[in-house]
Amino acid sequence: MLLDALREQLHLTGTKKGCDHGQCGACTVHIDGQSALSCLTLAVMSEGRAITTIEGLARGEELHPVQEAFVKHDAFQCGYCTPGQIMAATALVQDRQQRSAAEIREAMSGNLCRCAAYANIIAAIQEAQRA
């Protein structure tokens, strides 16, 4: 699977393995700019497509606005779900729509957080979509 290729062959361990069954969102990456679950994606099907992982989001020392907002709003505790949350959130805000908290919650419902940092995650995404 793409998740294993990223982690085991390319040593890009920022993308996390949670459930490995498409249910938690920890493995979220971008494929051609769209959010995708790498644990459900065959690596061979990704050939020739642009894959972005959490490692590719910042520009050098400059964090992506979604990353900055997560830091500012303390939108994590253990941090295990955070790369997936940020990748999903980044794909969400790229259309520049201003979503309500309820709409963000619905759109992010595939990304689980066992630490229940949901309120802060929503606040971070609301700030990022204004940025």
How far is it, in rounded angstroms, from Cα 122 to Cα 131? 14
Q: Closer CB to ligand FES, residue 56 or residue 118?
A: 118
Q: Closer CB to ligand FES, residue 23 or residue 100?
A: 23
Q: Closer CB to ligand FES, residue 22 or residue 33?
A: 22
- State both tokens at 6: 């990223």
Minimum CB distance to ligand FES, residue 110 (Å): 8
At residue 121, φ and ψ (nearest 5 deg) are -65, -45
Minimum CB distance to ligand FES, residue 84 (Å): 8
- Using CB under 6 A, list all residues that contact ligand FES: 17-20, 22-27, 37, 39, 76-82, 113-115, 117
Q: Residue 28: helix, strand or coil by DSSP?
A: strand
Minimum CB distance to ligand FES, residue 37 (Å): 5
Classify residue 33 as left (phi > 0), alpha (psi -120 to 50) or beta. left
Minimum CB distance to ligand FES, residue 102 (Å): 20
How many residues would you count in the chain? Answer: 131
